[in-house]
Amino acid sequence: MGERSNLVKSVLKALVLLEVLAQNGELSIGELNEHLGWDKSTIHRLLSTLKVKEYVQQNTENQKYRAGIKMFEMGNQVVDRLGFRRQCQPYLESLATVTKETVNLAVRDGKDIIYIDKIESSATIKVDLAIGKRLPMYCTGLGKAILAQMPEAEVLQILRLETMIALTPKTLTTVQSIQEQLELIRKRGYSLDDEEYVEGLICVAAPIRNYRGEVMAAISIAVPKYRFEEGQKTLQYTEKVAETAKKISAELGSFQL
């Protein structure tokens, strides 16, 4: 008997349903039927079960369903138990104080990154990428900071499997162009997302390594482009982000500084 024979189909369907709600926000049973192609009675039974355990909530005004706060709480508990976010937080706070910009911490999950912590800028105009946000690696500063430190064969596998969409006029969408950029990132020790994910957004990021010297996360500051271009902030931001990443890596026992 193979591994698939041990799978519980109803559990798989419930998890897929939760993923669709998390990605799309509020959806009706009819809309879920369009997304999933499942029988409406099946969807209703799954939603009712998940609702009892508070994994799903229902909007009483429009009767649509959304992923419950319990999912967020569970994710935070997992991250906190790892202790990594707690170790990083003082460094994030220090970087945010010095730069007065939004600071983000992300880890890799497959071909994506997931934001696991952030310190928001106190500025009126700021960049808001929420904790739990999932973004592709190929077009983000955080993602490319991680990609640049990974084995070449693994990077190629990720890029070839990714559907690289031009999210802005500056998004790189070919394997060769991204490889060239990753080589530059390796040489200078930080990555620079110059409006590749969102127009008007600059992201400076650097990799964080564990005690084995393996890249395990990345830290960044996200800055509105007009503020980034004021004065000589490029050097200030890149140095501070790279320095902070090295400090975190050292605390984690990394020998590659």
- Judgement on whether residues 108 and 200 belong to the same structural domain of the protein: yes
- Judgement on whether residues 119 and 211 belong to the same structural domain of the protein: yes
The pLDDT tens digits of the residues spanning 168-226 come to: 999 999 999 999 999 999 998 899 899 999 998 889 999 999 877 889 899 999 988 87
Q: What is the mean pLDDT of the chain?
A: 85
Residues of the chain short of pLDDT 70, as ranges, are 1-6, 72-73, 75-82, 122-129, 229-234, 255-257
239's tokens: 């140095």
Closest by CA position to 143, among listed 209, 73, 193: 193
Picking from 13, 44, 72, the residue at the C-terminal end of a domain is 72
Q: How many domains does the chain have?
A: 2
- Identify whether the C-beta of residue 107 lies closer than 8 Å to the C-beta of residue 116: yes
- Judgement on whether residues 132 and 43 belong to the same structural domain of the protein: no
Q: What CATH number is attached to the domain comprising 67?
A: 1.10.10.10
The verdict on residue 49 lying in a domain is yes
The verdict on residue 99 lying in a domain is yes
The verdict on residue 28 lying in a domain is yes
- Judgement on whether residues 97 and 167 belong to the same structural domain of the protein: yes
- Judgement on whether residues 14 and 139 belong to the same structural domain of the protein: no
Q: In the chain, which ranges are E strands? A: 56-58, 65-67, 102-109, 112-119, 134-136, 191-194, 201-209, 215-224
| Containing structural domain, residue 103 | 83-251
- Judgement on whether residues 39 and 149 belong to the same structural domain of the protein: no
- Judgement on whether residues 97 and 17 belong to the same structural domain of the protein: no
Cα–Cα distance, 122 to 243 (Å, whole number)? 22
How much is the pLDDT for 255?
63
- Judgement on whether residues 68 and 153 belong to the same structural domain of the protein: no
Q: What are the residues facing 117 on neighbouring strands? A: 105
Integer angstrom CA distances of residue 171 from 50, 98, 165, 174, 198:
39, 29, 8, 9, 9
Q: Where are the alpha helices (DSSP H) in 53-119?
A: 69-82, 84-99
